[in-house]
Structure 1
Amino acid sequence: MFCPNCGFEIYKEEKFCFKCGKSLQRDASHEKLNERSRSAASQPEVMYAGFFRRVIASTIDVLLWLLYCITVFLLPIHDAYNIIVGFFIAWLYYALLESSTWQGTIGKKIAGISVCDMEGKRISFWRASSRYFMHILSNITMLIGYIMPVFTEKKQTLHDIVSGCVLVKK
């Protein structure tokens, strides 16, 4: 099946086109269609979080991470354990906060952005975990994956696209 608006290939069960964002639900009644378009016009338009808001949020999160590293460095723990514990703490920090009612890390909360799925709903812990681990893709592309919000319609990074997420302004 293809989107009637942009021609993008979609699954039959999809409610929205991932490329252009158009609703794919069809009603037999013209009246229902008019009611929907009137109610959609009254709803605020989704504002996606741009590159600089993401930079602000990431900077705050990195500063918090450095504070954590300094604290751990002062503790009498073997370096190998620090690496393992640090990996799990970073993963849980991102996955738990992005899947919580906050819908983002402390940096994202301060920057006024939240993580959601393509339909604007809160993401699950597993999707948040997927998004966290997909940062690897953005890193191995010589950081081009992080610059993609400048060029994509929904201002998504590579790891957002792969995990099916968007960042929106609150």
Structure 2
Amino acid sequence: MQGPVYAGFWLRFVAYIIDAIVVNIAAYILGFIVGLAIGFGGGRDAQAMQLVMGILGIVLAWLYFALQESSAASATLGKRALGLRVLCSDGARLSFGRATGRFFAKIISGIILMIGYIMAAFTDRKRALHDMIADTVVIKG
């Protein structure tokens, strides 16, 4: 019996580009709405608006990735489009907590020249640093 087929770096990269487009469109719409609300309220504090938008952007991205990767589909829209799924290394579905940990571990993957992401091209199960931290794998199918 053959084991899972792990998703390589380039498939994961394309899935991420799709997800980034979706998240950025949602963030733009949210920013427009919040900007209007703040503008109609007097909108005198630009720094406060930047802080609010920064926090909302992080929360939006976190919920987008964590909710979808812990769902029954085990994948974001970008991963679904390419037939990929994120699972625990034992094959189980991710909990919301593990998906949250995986999301925030991506910060560590990107800290030093994105080396944590590039690792997915060279590890045996094609895992990036954040996959190792969260004990997850990305598979085809």
* Aligned-pair CA distance for 1:61: 0.5
Cα distance in structure 2, aligned partners of 1:154 and 1:53: 14
Where do 1:85-164 residues align within 5 Å?
85-164=56-135
Mapped to 2, the partners of 1:163 and 1:156 lie a distance apart of 10
Unaligned runs of 5+ in 2: 39-48
Q: Distance in 1 between matches of 2:31 and 2:55?
A: 14
- Indicate the structure whose relative CO is greater, using CA pairs within 8 Å and at least 6 residues apart: 2
Opposite residue 65 of structure 1, the aligned amino acid is V
Q: CA RMSD in A?
A: 1.2
Q: Which has the larger radius of gyration?
A: 1
SS of residue paired to 2:138: strand
Q: Helix, strand or coil: the match of 2:101?
A: helix
User: TM-score under structure 1 normalisation?
Assistant: 0.71
**SS of residue in 1 equivalent to 2:52:** helix
The CA deviation string for residues 126-161 of structure 1, in whole angstroms up to 9 with x for no partner, is: 110100010111111210111111110000000001
Matched length: 128
* Structure having the larger proportion of residues in helix: 2
Secondary structure of the 1:134 match is: helix
Which sections of structure 1, spanning at least 5 residues, go unmatched? 1-40
**2:17 is matched by which residue type in structure 1?**
T
Q: 1:90, 1:115 → 2: CA distance?
A: 17
Amino acid at match of 2:9: F
CA distances 1:7-59 after superposition (whole Å, capped 9, x unpaired)? xxxxxxxxxxxxxxxxxxxxxxxxxxxxxxxxxx3xx4210000111011101
Which amino acid is the alignment partner of residue 73 of structure 1?
A: G
